Structure 1
């Protein structure tokens, strides 16, 4: 039996276990019919991917299925999140048929953007209650960032390539942000969308644990069977163990996705009635977070937990208890079987691949020298500078493992300022919106805590990784969720004000 068929059997079994486990807690949060329909869709598209033996056959069949099923889906963000990690986002070029070399690189994420997000974008634009794009600061800053990105690409390529790059920015950045920032109107919509992401991440978690324990990357054979090449997906090890990657292509990208799901879980768990199921869900995410052996996402999750606790009730007392538990856990790990191996993997205090931290420090030092030479708008040939050439690793590459540094090198201080300001205004907007819910036990307030914590964790995690594979589409989408939350709070406050005025008028 071919390797990808053997992998398919394992994937279907593991996913079936996750969905069976998640059925009852999901019914506490959303209608069971929605869960069943999406689960069946996940299985159907996975089967199509593995039996198609052609990316183009998969793309065509998937487009038809999504076009049909989209009509029954009330929340496009949920459908997008639920299917986002279905298969690796390996790309194939759409041929130009003699007009141009090729039109655009197409992958699984862009198929979802075309078939799910684009129709949602067109429908949302026509609705009178949809906030027009450009009315709020995050919209303006994002638009400026995208225009600058497209304009600067002219320095290194042709106008045709710039148009192609602009099209990918529309599908990869604008559509996820716009739909996530406009489609969700109430807490129920948020529960639905966050659960879609969480369920997809839980499937990744169990498959990741299998890859880690069996030393077998299940999806690598799929890209070969579909006729697409994806050099980014390779076998990597740390401390003698395989680092799982599942459909994300890189271990740190998998850890990042599980970390974001953990942030969402902080909100969703309160809606699950069974304490046992809540604990099992947390345990599964913890296992999925461990399987990639990526330390950046571990730091990100720690930031999320601290931020979530810090914005809740009795933050000082609970943070002190958390810190006390963390301090006690280290000597406890040291005496447990295998505990010292875990300690060696921990960031800053562990001994395994400590040179990676040194590499990141050198990257910052050398990059700052290069950035100063092209301070405002960066440079397209920064990799050819002596400082960056000295960063070449054993694989013959210069790994820019810091999203902020990468943006500053390519787009200068102006581009980096737009990027940071975009997320800064969203963080400020979420925090301001949370004040609209004075009761800290209110689920709307708790949703704000989770979104704020998740976004903070993302912004810390991307210090340790460049924007590869699915990483950027996730943070642009989460940014959209933050905008949507702020708009929901603004509508609620406006409705309360109008209700108070109406009551006052009747009283007089």
Structure 2
């Protein structure tokens, strides 16, 4: 049996477990009919992706299914989040038919945006209760940022590619913002959308744990089976263990998805009735956060939890308890089996790949020098500066892993 079919069986089994256990707590927030419809759509599109053996076939059939599903969906953002991480976002180029090299890059996320969010945005624009774009400062600042980024592309690429990048900004940034800011009118809509992100993160978390335990990236064979070249599906390890990536293609990206999901779960779990369900969800997301073995997202998750507690009732007492629990957990890890390995992975405490942390510190210092020279509009050729050239690693690359620096 081909590897991607074996992976599909495992993925469907793990997802079935999650959706079965999540059904009861999910209905504390949304109608059962919405839960079943989105769950079934998740299974349908997943099977379609694995059996299509062609990304173009998946795009065509997937577009038809999504356009039909959207007609029955009252909350487009919830549907968008539910399917956001369905398959890896590997891209194919739409041919330019001799006019240009290619028109645009298409991937699953852009397919989802065009089939779900674009029709929703057009409907919201005609809705009499929708605030016209540009009326709020958030609108104006976003528009100014998008225009500025589009103009700055002219420094480093052609006019044709600049137009292409501007289109990507519209699809990838503007449409999600517009639909979320205009479409989530009621608290129930907001809870629905946040729950959808948490539910799909539950599925990813259990798959991530399976990848970590079995040392098998379950979605890597799918990209090859669909005939899409993608450089982000490689195996990475840390401390002798596989770093899970699921559909994100990179362990760091998966880690940040899990940390964001934990932040949203802190809100959603307040509406779940049974404490057991809340505890199970928290443990699953914690396991999903650990599986990528990415230390930056661990720090991010801690910050999110601390800020959430600080903004709630009894903040001082709860923060003190959290701090005490953290202090007690460190010596306990030295006594439990496998605890030493966990300690070795912790940033600034462990010894595994300490050179990565040192490299990040040097990256911050050298980048700040370059940033100070270009404080307003940045530098498109920053990699050629002496400070950045000094950051070339043994592999011959400059690892600008920090998105904010980039």
TM-score, length-normalised on structure 1?
0.79
Corresponding position of 1:156: 156
CA RMSD for the aligned pairs? Answer: 1.0
Tell me how far apart the structure 2 counterparts of residues 183 and 395 of structure 1 sit (CA, whole Å).
47
Deviation for aligned residue 1:6: 0.7
Segments ≥4 residues shifted beyond 4 Å: none
**2:51 corresponds to 1:55:** no
Tell me how far apart the structure 2 counterparts of residues 126 and 157 of structure 1 sit (CA, whole Å).
36
Give structure 1 stretches of 5+ with no counterpart.
407-508
More helix by share: 1
Corresponding position of 1:431: none
Corresponding position of 1:211: 211
Corresponding position of 1:45: 45
**2:354 corresponds to 1:354:** yes
Corresponding position of 1:416: none
- Higher relative contact order structure (alpha carbons within 8 Å, sequence separation ≥ 6): 1
Tell me how far apart the structure 1 counterparts of residues 171 and 395 of structure 2 sit (CA, whole Å).
31
Deviation for aligned residue 1:344: 1.1
- TM-superposition CA deviations, 1:291-343 (whole Å, max 9, x none): 00111111111111111111111111111111111111111111111111111
Corresponding position of 1:256: 256
Corresponding position of 1:95: 95
Distance 1:394 1:18, change over 3 A: farther
Give structure 2 stretches of 5+ with no counterpart.
none
Secondary structure of the equivalent of 1:258? helix
Tell me how far apart the structure 2 counterparts of residues 176 and 64 of structure 1 sit (CA, whole Å).
20
Corresponding position of 1:177: 177
Aligned residues: 406
Tell me how far apart the structure 2 counterparts of residues 379 and 271 of structure 1 sit (CA, whole Å).
46
Corresponding position of 2:330: 330
Tell me how far apart the structure 1 counterparts of residues 108 and 368 of structure 2 sit (CA, whole Å).
36
Corresponding position of 1:459: none
Deviation for aligned residue 1:141: 1.4
Corresponding position of 1:488: none
Deviation for aligned residue 1:390: 2.1
TM-score, length-normalised on structure 2?
0.98
Corresponding position of 1:469: none
Tell me how far apart the structure 1 counterparts of residues 157 and 311 of structure 2 sit (CA, whole Å).
47
**2:190 corresponds to 1:193:** no
Tell me how far apart the structure 1 counterparts of residues 386 and 307 of structure 2 sit (CA, whole Å).
40
Corresponding position of 1:304: 304
Corresponding position of 1:437: none
Deviation for aligned residue 1:131: 1.4
Tell me how far apart the structure 2 counterparts of residues 71 and 396 of structure 1 sit (CA, whole Å).
51
Tell me how far apart the structure 1 counterparts of residues 305 and 366 of structure 2 sit (CA, whole Å).
33
Corresponding position of 1:494: none
Deviation for aligned residue 1:369: 2.1
Deviation for aligned residue 1:358: 0.8
Tell me how far apart the structure 2 counterparts of residues 374 and 26 of structure 1 sit (CA, whole Å).
48
Tell me how far apart the structure 1 counterparts of residues 390 and 51 of structure 2 sit (CA, whole Å).
45
Tell me how far apart the structure 1 counterparts of residues 136 and 67 of structure 2 sit (CA, whole Å).
32
Secondary structure of the equivalent of 2:334? helix
Secondary structure of the equivalent of 1:403? coil
